Chain A
Amino acid sequence: MSVSNLLENWSQFRHFHPVDDKPHDPYKWAMSIDLDACTGCNACSVACYAENNLPVVGKDKYAHGHSMHWMRIERYWDEDVGVAGGREFPDQGAQFLPMMCQQCEAAPCETVCPVAATNHTADGLNSQIYNRCIGSRYCSANCPFKVRYFNWYDYPTTDNVWPAEMSQQLNPDVTVRGKGVMEKCTFCVQRISAAKVAAKGEGRIVHDGEIQTACQQVCPTSAISFGNLVDPESRVHKQWKAQQVELDKEAQAKDKHGEEGGSSGLRGYRILEELRPYPSVMYLERVRESAV
Chain B
Amino acid sequence: MKDIREDIAWAKINTDVLKSLENPRKLYWVILFFALAAFGVGVGCEIYQYSVGMGVENVNNPHVWGLYIATFIFWIGMSHSGTLLSAILHLMHADWRKPIYRFAEAMTTFSLMTAGLFVMVHIGRLWQFYYSLPYPNERGIWPNFQSPLLWDAMAIFTYLSSSIIFLYVGMIPDLAICRDNMKDGWRRKLYTLLSLGWEGTDRQWRNFRVTYLTVACFLIPLAVSVHSIVASDFAMSQQPGWHVTSFPPYFVAGALYSGCAAIITLFIILRYVFRFEEYMTLPILKKTVRLTFAIAMVWTYLNAVEFASVWYSHDSASKDVLIQKATGPFAFAWWGMIFCGSVVPLVLAFKRFQTNIPVLLVVSLLLNLGMWLERWMIVSPTFSHGYYPWTWDHDQWPSLIAWSIVLASFGWFTLLFMVFCKVFPSVSMYEVKEMVYHRSLHLKKGETAEQGAH
Contacts and interface: CB of A to CB of B under 8 A. Distances in A.
A280 B344 CA distance: 51
A254 interface: no
Q: Dominant SS at the B interface?
A: loop
Contacts of B391: 146
Interface string B219-240: 0000000000000010011110
B55 A152 contact: yes
Contacts of B149: 112-114, 136, 138
Contacts of A136: 122-124, 132, 149
Contact of A181 (B124, B147, B153, B383): B124
A144 interface: yes
B389 A152 contact: no
Contacts of A182: 124
Contact of A137 (B124, B141, B143): B124
Interface residues of A, number: 48
B64 A141 contact: yes
A226 interface: no
A144 B387 contact: yes
Given A2-B140, A135-B124, A146 B53 contact: no
Interface in B51-81: 52-55, 58, 60-65
Interface in A106-126: 108, 111-116
Nearest to B382: A141
19 contacts: A14-B146, A66-B60, A108-B237, A114-B143, A114-B147, A115-B144, A136-B149, A138-B147, A140-B62, A141-B64, A141-B237, A144-B239, A144-B387, A146-B390, A151-B124, A152-B55, A153-B53, A179-B125, A180-B126
Contact of A150 (B124, B388, B389): B124
Contact of A180 (B53, B60, B389, B396): B53
A180 B53 CA distance: 7
Contacts of A223: none
A22 to B, nearest CB: 19
B386 interface: yes
A149 to B, nearest CB: 5
B143 A112 contact: no
A65 B149 CA distance: 25
Contacts of B396: 65
B131 A153 contact: no
B52 A149 contact: no
Interface string A168-184: 00000000000111100
A3 B236 CA distance: 24
B60 A114 contact: no
A78 to B, nearest CB: 13
B148 interface: yes
B129 interface: yes
B128 interface: yes
B145 interface: yes
Contacts of B271: none
Contacts of A133: 124-125
A137 B387 CA distance: 18
A206 B345 CA distance: 68
A102 to B, nearest CB: 11
A114 B390 contact: no
B150 interface: yes
B121 to A, nearest CB: 12
A132 interface: yes
Contact of B238 (A3, A99, A135, A144): A144
A1 B131 CA distance: 13
B384 to A, nearest CB: 11
Given A67-B61, A142-B238, A149-B61, A134 B128 contact: yes
Given A135-B123, A137-B64, A153 B132 contact: no
A116 B144 CA distance: 5
A1 B141 contact: yes
B218 interface: no
Contacts of B150: 114
A64 B149 CA distance: 27
A112 B147 contact: yes
Interface string A54-86: 000000010011111000101010000000000
A275 to B, nearest CB: 6
A108 B126 CA distance: 24
Contact of A114 (B54, B63, B144, B387): B144
Contacts of B238: 108, 142, 144, 275
Interface string B367-408: 000000000000000010011111100101000000000000
Nearest to A67: B61
A194 interface: no
Interface string B407-451: 000000000000000000000000000000000000000000000
A6 interface: yes
Contacts of A72: 390
Nearest to A132: B131
A132 B58 CA distance: 24
Contacts of B233: 138
B142 interface: yes
A180 B54 contact: yes
Given A135-B123, A180-B53, A275-B238, A65 B141 contact: no
Given A1-B142, A134-B131, A138-B149, A179 B124 contact: yes
Contact of A113 (B123, B147, B237, B239): B147
Contact of B388 (A116, A146, A154): A146
A116 B60 CA distance: 23
A114 B54 CA distance: 19
A145 interface: yes
